[in-house]
Chain A
Amino acid sequence: MTDTQIDNSECSVIGYEEEIETITDVIKRIGSGALEHIAIISEPMGGRTTLVHEIQRLYKDRVYYFPLEFVITQSKIPDFRALSEDIILIDNCQFLATWKIGGFDLCNHFLNLLISSKKLFVTTWNLFSWQSLSQVLHLDAYFPKILLLNKMDTPVLKQVILSKYKKEEIRFLDDGATERSMFYSKIHKDVSLPFYKEKISIPWIKLNFSLIFWQAPRKNRVQISVEDVIFEKINRIARGNPGVGILLWEEAFKRREISIGSIPEYAYFISLDINESFILFIILSMECIHEIDLKDVAGSEIDIAQTLYRLVQQDLVIETNGYYRISPFALGPVIDYLKKNRRLW
């Protein structure tokens, strides 16, 4: 098999240059020693699929792409040995296992296929599913290369979003709310002096303590433009999740304009019983799951219809054609809540 030469400068995704380089290196080493199967892990909407599409684009002919969109059965898994491609790219591998008795058989079958295969497997996993499955199936032992997609920094997120537009297509508006969101602002104070009748205006630095404590500014940051404050706010709400950040941008960006006041900020007061938090964990770790599969996981002890109703009522979960997923803007609060209750191991 000819080794396709890939120049890293061809990489068209922003923020994943290092990951692409690592994957490229592993692919270059195919045929020279043991295979290093790759697991790409991230939160929901954390950029896994973007990375996978980039690998697909870079290695078109060598890649067999097998995206999973819901829980599957063993019969749906193709015979990888019969394929001509030497790179098997499987997106959303969390669908290989379900949280029920007998729900790990397919994943075990897949892992056995993987270790006996001569092809390179590049797989993507939901972070929370990976963490849980690692505790029970020791997933990390099967993947010598584990790429955890970290939270995105504000400048990178800004670059990702702005790359979709031309410069003149966006107007960043200062709607007065900007000042409140800056770490400090320069103001002028009127001061009365004992020896001078008139009040004088002196420049003054007003610190925004709440923002300073929540998010310390980076070194050498002196001036923050409206544009930067807007992206800082987007990334603060999105908690470094690029998918959520892009959705927030799309919500706020209307008629080619965006202001800090137009960025929606949602508040969630989560109060759940043990069944609800368990089902919420299942939805979070699967990312998208059908009610029938949820019923299987819940068993007879949980009234799944009532539980889902409660989760939807609290805007934590959204339903589309019987499939349930975490509401994008509730992602951060849901993760915090489940961590607090030690539901995420």
Chain B
Amino acid sequence: MSEIPFSNVTAEIPIKTIDANLIIYICLIIIIAYVLNRFFGYVLMQVSERIGSYRTSVTLIIPLVKLLIYAFALYYIIIAVIEPSMTQILAFSGFFGAAIGFGLKDLFSDIVGGVVIILEKPYQIGDKITIGEKYGEVKNIGIRSTRIVTPADEMVSIPNFSIFNQPVTSGNDGDLAMMVEIDLFIHPCSDPQPAMKILKEALITSKYVIISKKYPYTVLLEDFPFYKRIRAKGYVNDLRQEFEFTSEVTRRAWVEMRKAGIKPPSVIPLLSDTDNNRRESKE
């Protein structure tokens, strides 16, 4: 079989005459792709909000649906312009890739990052993630960037390429529940036993908690020079209530601790002794 030189392949690509009809057709494809994208995005989000515990299973497919729609749109645009054969498509892809690689490197990296996020799923829509210095709930995974909402209600757009050069932490890994650590610091002279019991019961009776074999809880004590730290670890039923959960458990626990004569420390605990404070400080 004789090989076809690239120069011949590109020379033979039958590019159609670009007229008003073709431009309108391409515009129409882009508009339809955009509308379909918005439509499926909206419908799937609405469905996910209504099916309770299966929310994240539905949000998982949203980026995939978007990718497929854009891929189809691109395919139809290409065949509308050049009607290539398979060999020509392959050859053209090589040239196109090289051109993008040089000219639109960052954009292309983000798109590749987006595809990797969709296929490898380091996180998905609805997850609570930390990328670099940013922490929040993933609202959208786009072709170019991932949008997260921080606890301060700021929408942050993070380029998808960031997953290649920054550590990504997902607090829930696609689950609706997420582990939360709640720290209380008590005076070193206070008896930690009743304090641990109170914190444990504040956690297990919270309206936000979920407890099962899959979602266990624990209460731990650690001694520091000027205070004792009691740390409760438990799962919040819906990760959107992470901070309400922490606040409710802390408040109820302190009400009971005061009644039991347990005092807070006289020294303000170091930020490094509490992960929650560290997380808040990033915002």
Contacts and interface: CB of A to CB of B under 8 A. Distances in A.
Do chains A and B stick together as partners? yes
Interface of A: 99-104, 132, 135-136, 274-275, 278, 297, 299, 301-302, 340-343, 345
Nearest to B251: A301
B205 A275 contact: no
A345 B201 contact: no
Contacts of A302: 207
A342 B176 contact: yes
Contacts of B248: 301
Interface string B242-268: 000000100111001000000000000
A99 B256 CA distance: 14
A103 B52 contact: no
B212 A100 contact: no
B201 A104 contact: yes
B52 A101 contact: no
B48 to A, nearest CB: 13
24 contacts: A99-B205, A100-B205, A101-B198, A101-B202, A101-B205, A103-B205, A132-B211, A135-B211, A135-B212, A136-B204, A136-B211, A297-B205, A299-B252, A301-B251, A302-B207, A341-B53, A342-B52, A342-B53, A342-B176, A342-B177, A342-B210, A342-B237, A345-B210, A345-B212
Contacts of B205: 99-101, 103, 297
A103 B205 CA distance: 9
Interface in B91-115: none
Given A101-B201, A101-B256, A340 B53 contact: yes
B51 interface: yes
Interface residues of B, number: 22
A340 B211 contact: no
B241 A274 contact: yes
A274 B206 CA distance: 11
Given A340-B52, A340-B53, A102 B208 contact: no
Interface of B: 51-53, 176-177, 198, 201-202, 204-205, 207-208, 210-212, 237, 241, 248, 251-253, 256
Given A135-B211, A274-B241, A301-B248, 7 more contacts: A99-B205, A101-B253, A103-B205, A136-B211, A299-B252, A302-B207, A342-B237
Contacts of A342: 52-53, 176-177, 210, 237
Nearest to A281: B207
Nearest to A279: B207
A132 B210 CA distance: 10
Among A103, A104, A301, A342: residue with most chain B CB under 10 A: A342
A132 B176 CA distance: 19
B245 to A, nearest CB: 10
Contacts of A299: 252
A345 B234 CA distance: 14
A102 B201 contact: yes
Nearest to A298: B207
Contacts of B237: 341-343
B201 A278 contact: no
Among B207, B208, B237: residue with most chain A CB under 10 A: B207
A301 B244 CA distance: 11
Given A101-B201, A340-B51, A345 B208 contact: no
Nearest to B53: A342
B212 A101 contact: no
B198 A278 contact: no
Nearest to B214: A345
A229 B281 CA distance: 65
A246 B143 CA distance: 58
Contacts of A135: 204, 211-212
Nearest to A104: B201
A99 B51 CA distance: 27
Given A301-B248, A340-B53, A341-B53, A102 B207 contact: no
Contacts of B177: 342
A175 B198 CA distance: 61
Nearest to A136: B204
Contacts of B204: 135-136
Contacts of A100: 201, 205
A297 B204 CA distance: 12
B211 A345 contact: yes
Given A340-B53, A342-B52, A274 B208 contact: yes
Nearest to A277: B207
Contacts of B253: 101
A135 B213 CA distance: 8
A102 B256 contact: yes
B207 to A, nearest CB: 4
